[in-house]
Chains A and B, each alone.
Chain A
Amino acid sequence: MTNLHANQQSSDCRVGLKLSKTTFSPHTSSHLAVRDQEMCHGCVLRPCISVCPAGVYTYCEALGLIVAYQKCLECGSCKIVCEFDNIDWNYPPGGFGVDYMQG
């Protein structure tokens, strides 16, 4: 029965539940920036969305690529898979961001 429920979870639900266990101290400004929204508009695969283990990226026509930097796990996958080098990637300022208790 529990398995059935697990299988029915949407991907938002899955990643949301996981992130709810991790501690964050987000800074007030984003450490991630999209260089040119037009690029994202023209991008077919948008691999940043699927590879991000925290579901930081979502895309909608009206707003373009939305970056929920607060839940970033700081792995750097998005920057590596972006063929257009369109993500200005940095770590959050010192002392901010994810705070792993177990590692």
Chain B
Amino acid sequence: MGDDFAECIVVGAGPAGSAAALALAKSRVDVHVLERGHAVGAKNVSGAILNANTLSHLIPGFRAEAPLERRVARQRYSLLTGDAEMGVFDLHTSQSKHPPLHNLFAVNRRAFDKWFADQAIKVGATYHTGIRADRLIQDSHGVVIGVETSQGALHANVVILTDGANSILNRHNGRSKHSQVSKMWLGVKETIRLPIGKIEDRFNLERNEGASFKYLGEPVQYSPGTAFILTNNETLSVGVITRLSDLSDKGARPYELLDAFKNHPWIRRLLEGGVSEEYSAHILPEMGYGHLPPLTGDGFLVAGDAAGLLSALFHEGMNLALASGLMSGLAAAEASKHGKYSNNVLGIYRKMLHQSFVMQDMKTASKFHELMEEKPEYFNELLKATVQFATDVTSITDKPDKEQISRAWHEFTATTGRGTLAKEAFRLWRFLR
């Protein structure tokens, strides 16, 4: 690469990077995207459900063009214990064909990220694959003026860091405190191919419909976290997302959690006859609204996972990456118009984030995260007692129904404490409004 110069460098060709590149190229800024994978998408992993709302604004025709898998028509959440599954939410609606429910899709990241990059290339962005960015180059005043790569230095007016969870901003100083470990989540996933027609049968779907099943409880050892099954065209994405602190505290191995989930009696049947095609892992840095890294500095901006803009518990990442990437690109394009790239000028990016759903959603996710840290029993005692209550209420005995229900209720309140449910419901209601 030698000692080259670009107007703008984007590090990382994920959804955030390509959204930034697309915005910049459209504004006729000379933008170069560096991707460490030998091909776009080679390093990218996610829970595989794309909320395509931002994408629909950016590329209105994406439904016909993008390599999408099934459109999510059914969303189910359940509590899973060793011997019971209690569905607490299960919506299957044909309204998912129409706005505002029609923007949720399963995606294969290798295919999708490649397509998205191609959209940026079409309007003039340049991609360089197989190049690892190693550090930021700063001038004597600390202003970022380029990136040192495995192939030499590349200088630029402005650098956008969309290089994911292990961004060059923190790759080399990994000093970890427990408080940080509890904000880092690890997702492990297998892609499992099922015989043709089985997905429709087992998940009760039409040919083009998809399902997203999420589970709390046993699969994540009654800690905060989720297990999931998502339907692609002919494969399932099956995974577990849990906090690194819970994994290291309990000495549990992530692949053992995944196998235990896959072998749960109610899950095994959904996967039966499936052939595993790929195993992947990904870290989710949920720093929280109050602890986000600097989003801009002199000569640089940060977006997507690299900026901690995601919510592990809500499985929200790609849309926040797309939106923040897009805004960082628009801000850099605006700066380029004036030829000024100071932190102050690039600050319009932060302003845009705060005025959009991105920071509002980050605030909500953070509040929920705090609530969760205060109340680990939500995921343990309360979850188990709820499943037991449902079991007791439905059991067949000689007792009159009324007595049976009141006995079950008594058992429930004996475990959780009197008035707990009302109190927690009230807390949740206050939190949500």
Contact = CB atoms under 8 A, between A and B. Distances in A.
Interface of A: 3, 6-7, 9, 11, 14-15, 17-19, 21-23, 25, 45, 47, 50-51, 53-55, 73-77, 79-83, 85, 87, 89-103
Interface stretch (B91-99, B108-116, B355-363): B108-116
B210 to A, nearest CB: 15
B130 A95 contact: yes
Contacts of B235: 102
Nearest to B173: A85
B229 to A, nearest CB: 15
B174 A82 contact: yes
B117 to A, nearest CB: 13
A53 B43 contact: no
B175 A85 contact: yes
A90 B171 contact: yes
A103 B108 contact: yes
20 contacts: A7-B263, A11-B253, A21-B276, A22-B278, A50-B248, A53-B254, A75-B166, A76-B174, A77-B186, A79-B174, A83-B176, A89-B171, A93-B150, A94-B131, A95-B36, A95-B129, A97-B43, A100-B41, A100-B43, A102-B237
Contacts of A23: 278
Contacts of B150: 93-94
Interface stretch (B54-62, B279-287, B327-335): B279-287
A90 B173 CA distance: 11
A50 B188 CA distance: 14
Contact of A94 (B151, B181, B280): B151
B191 A102 contact: yes
B174 A51 contact: no
Contacts of B110: 100-103
Given A100-B109, A103-B44, A45 B248 contact: yes
Contacts of A98: 42-43, 280
Contact of A91 (B166, B252, B278): B166
B368 to A, nearest CB: 22
Given A11-B253, A91-B132, A102-B278, A79 B42 contact: no
Given A100-B45, A102-B191, 12 more contacts: A11-B253, A25-B38, A47-B251, A75-B186, A75-B282, A80-B176, A80-B184, A81-B248, A91-B171, A98-B43, A101-B110, A102-B278
B166 A81 contact: no
Contacts of B166: 74-76, 89, 91
Nearest to B283: A75
A100 B278 contact: yes
B3 interface: no
B175 A101 contact: no
Interface residues of B, number: 59
A55 B254 CA distance: 10
A77 to B, nearest CB: 5
A80 B278 contact: no
A50 B181 contact: no
B50 to A, nearest CB: 12
A58 B277 CA distance: 26
A82 B108 CA distance: 32
B176 A81 contact: yes
Given A54-B281, A77-B283, A95-B130, A103 B41 contact: yes
A89 B134 CA distance: 12
B81 interface: no
A83 to B, nearest CB: 7
Contacts of B409: none
A100 B280 contact: yes
A101 B268 CA distance: 25
B244 A102 contact: no
Contacts of A92: 132
B420 interface: no
Contacts of A25: 38
A73 B184 CA distance: 16
B147 to A, nearest CB: 12
Contacts of A74: 43, 166
A96 B130 CA distance: 8
A25 B132 CA distance: 15
B259 to A, nearest CB: 6
B45 to A, nearest CB: 5
A98 B262 CA distance: 24
B154 interface: no
